[in-house]
């Protein structure tokens, strides 16, 4: 399925290349070439995917990892990689074992990976196993024993790269491991931004103003049709205004097309929307599937209350609950909320505290790694959701 989707995307890119005058000023003389180029692009992508799955991920090419710490952080990393270091043949890593000081874990399996020794065995194991990388998976780094710290430095002097569980976990999942961050702020938020980040924010804001203006014009065109559909399906207000928390914890009113029945939360207060929520109207279901219900939020973007891309703005009452349950939840208010975002395109609609934790991990990853490339990836995924009627 992944290869088919990649092949389809390659065909689309090939077609756009051929039909864009600035890229190809003159069409090929032969129509056969116009037909073959997208097919060849798709064939190349599918061939590369197959080659990667069957050759690059073989043990010969995999990076061998030795993990220090067989606790929750180490187990979470193994689960991210797959219990044996292989996930359906698509990972480039192979876990050779754990190092842990708890005597009860010695020679036992943790997440199907053996515990090979303790801190005193690290140097000898590193020499014998020759790992490509050592991963420190200890949540509270300041509690590392001096002897273990010395052994890690010795391994580094041997030429073995050292990394942390948080860093590798982010690379693997696109999420920040909030539950395994301890009290280390560097894990959950960017401490030092490069000077170029200010330019990125300024240019991005200029682009957002232009896009928001175009979005508001599109909104004016859509309003009559949505009003008419709501008139026959679920009479009531056209727009839905609700208090949400934005950047810096400031409260603002978000605007959306109403997709639920009137007074949907009467008697219940603020609650998570469910997957097949019977409060959603037939028209509202279509609006949500296509994400058109969020079109009025371009007005919030124009006012500077929201961004095109960022964490989903949440309600004050729900935030008050989640802050008690989830560590670092307020960090998501370090940036403006967005109409779409990394969490929205990577994870399903949140209906529980556990879902909110996963979405926070995606949000914090975006906050740490904001870039044009990541923004472009989110926009492409958002377009796929809208065109595929996958919104919730």
Per-residue DSSP letters for 249-308? G-EEEEEEE--B-TTTTTTT-S-PPPTT-TTB-HHHHHHHHTTGGGTTHHHHHHTTS-EE
189 located within any domain: no
Average pLDDT for 346-365: 88
Are 23 and 112 members of one domain?
A: no
Q: Domain ends where: 140, 173, 206?
A: 173
168 located within any domain: yes
Buried b (16+ CB within 10 A) or exposed e, 257-296: bbbbeeebeeeeeeeebeeebebbbebbbbbbbbbbbbbb
Greatest mean pLDDT among 42-56, 131-145, 224-238, 289-303 lies in 289-303
Which of the pair, 72 or 385, is modelled with greater confidence? 72
Quote the CA–CA distance of 363 and 355 in Å, as a whole number: 12
Q: Domain ends where: 56, 80, 97?
A: 56
pLDDT in tens, 20-57: 655 555 555 665 665 676 677 667 777 776 766 666 55
pLDDT value of residue 275 = 62
**Residues 6+ positions from 356 with CB-CB distance below 8 Å:** 322, 325, 326, 329, 350
Answer whether residue 85 shows pLDDT above 50: no
Are 316 and 244 members of one domain?
A: yes
Q: Which of 9-18, 220-229, 243-252, 299-308 has the lowest mean pLDDT?
A: 9-18
Average pLDDT for 189-218: 90
| Average pLDDT of every residue of the chain | 83
pLDDT above 70 as % of the chain: 78
pLDDT value of residue 364 = 94
Are 233 and 284 members of one domain?
A: yes
pLDDT value of residue 88 = 45
Contact 112, 78 (CB under 8 A): yes
How far out from the chain centre does Cα 131 lie? 29
370: nearest Cα among 329, 348, 342, 330:
342
The domain tally of the chain equals 3
Are 245 and 272 members of one domain?
A: yes
Average pLDDT for 286-309: 91
186 located within any domain: no
Identify the domain containing residue 86 by its residue range. 63-173
pLDDT value of residue 37 = 64
Answer whether residue 202 shows pLDDT above 80: yes
Are 117 and 169 members of one domain?
A: yes
Answer whether residue 1 shows pLDDT above 50: no
275 located within any domain: yes
For residue 89, give the DSSP letter: T
Contact 375, 339 (CB under 8 A): no
Confidence category of residue 192, pLDDT binned at 50, 70, 90: confident
pLDDT in tens, 305-354: 999 999 999 999 999 999 999 989 999 999 999 999 999 998 877 778 88
Which of the pair, 268 or 157, is modelled with greater confidence? 157
42 located within any domain: yes
Which of the pair, 309 or 87, is modelled with greater confidence? 309
pLDDT value of residue 155 = 94
pTM: 0.78
Answer whether residue 146 shows pLDDT above 50: yes
Average pLDDT for 149-164: 93
Average pLDDT for 159-174: 91
329 located within any domain: yes
Are 238 and 274 members of one domain?
A: yes
Are 106 and 10 members of one domain?
A: no
pLDDT value of residue 44 = 75
Which of the pair, 276 or 19, is modelled with greater confidence? 276
pLDDT value of residue 204 = 95
Are 328 and 210 members of one domain?
A: yes
Give the DSSP H or E segment for 207.
Answer: helix 196-233
Answer whether residue 266 shows pLDDT above 60: yes
Are 152 and 251 members of one domain?
A: no
Answer whether residue 273 shows pLDDT above 90: no
Are 25 and 83 members of one domain?
A: no
Q: Domain ends where: 12, 41, 56?
A: 56
**DSSP string covering 12-52, please?**
HHHHHHHH-TTT-SS--SSHHHHHHHHHHHHHHHHHHHHHI
185 located within any domain: no
Answer whether residue 236 shows pLDDT above 70: yes
Are 50 and 17 members of one domain?
A: yes
190 located within any domain: no
Quote the CA–CA distance of 94 and 86 in Å, as a whole number: 7
For residue 391, give the DSSP letter: -
Give me the CATH number covering residue 79: 3.40.50.20
Cα dihedral: 129, 130, 133, 135 (round 10): 30
φ and ψ at 275, to 5 degrees?
-60, -50
Q: Which of 97-111, 205-219, 259-273, 364-378 has the lowest mean pLDDT?
A: 259-273
Are 156 and 305 members of one domain?
A: no
């Amino acid at each position: 399925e992944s290869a088919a989707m990649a092949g389809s995307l390659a065909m689309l890119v090939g077609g756009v290349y051929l039909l864009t005058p600035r890229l190809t000023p003159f069409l090929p003389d032969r129509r056969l070439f116009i037909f073959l180029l997208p097919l060849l692009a798709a064939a190349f992508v599918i061939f590369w995917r197959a080659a990667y799955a069957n050759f690059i991920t073989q043990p010969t090419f995999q990076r061998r990892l030795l993990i220090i710490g067989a606790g929750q952080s180490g187990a979470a990393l193994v689960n991210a990689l797959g219990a044996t270091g292989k996930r359906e043949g698509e990972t480039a890593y192979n876990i050779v074992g754990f190092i842990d000081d708890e005597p009860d874990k010695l020679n036992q399996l943790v997440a199907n990976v053996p515990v090979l020794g303790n801190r005193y065995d690290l140097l000898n194991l590193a020499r014998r196993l020759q790992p490509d990388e050592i991963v420190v998976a200890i949540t509270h780094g300041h509690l590392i024993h001096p002897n273990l710290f010395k052994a890690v430095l010795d391994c580094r002097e041997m030429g073995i790269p050292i990394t942390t569980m948080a860093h590798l976990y982010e690379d693997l999942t696109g999420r920040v491991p909030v539950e395994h961050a301890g009290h280390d702020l560097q894990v959950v938020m960017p401490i030092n931004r490069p000077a170029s980040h200010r330019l990125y924010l300024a240019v991005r804001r200029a682009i957002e103003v232009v896009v928001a203006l175009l979005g508001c014009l599109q909104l004016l065109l859509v309003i009559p049709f949505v009003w008419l559909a709501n008139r026959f399906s679920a009479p009531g207000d056209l727009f839905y205004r609700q208090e949400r928390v934005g950047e810096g914890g400031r409260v603002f009113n978000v605007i959306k097309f109403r997709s639920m029945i009137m007074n949907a939360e009467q008697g219940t207060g603020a609650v998570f929307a469910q997957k097949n929520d019977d409060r959603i109207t037939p028209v509202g279901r279509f609006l949500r599937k296509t994400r058109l219900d969020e079109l009025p939020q371009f007005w919030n973007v124009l006012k500077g209350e929201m961004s095109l891309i960022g964490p989903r703005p949440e309600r004050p009452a729900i935030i008050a609950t989640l802050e008690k349950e989830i560590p670092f939840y307020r960090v998501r208010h370090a940036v403006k909320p967005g109409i779409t975002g990394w969490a929205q395109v990577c994870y399903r609609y949140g209906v529980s505290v556990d879902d909110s934790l996963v979405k926070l991990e995606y949000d914090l990853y975006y906050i740490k790694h904001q870039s044009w490339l990541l923004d472009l990836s989110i926009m492409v995924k958002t377009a796929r959701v809208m065109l595929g009627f996958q919104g919730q």
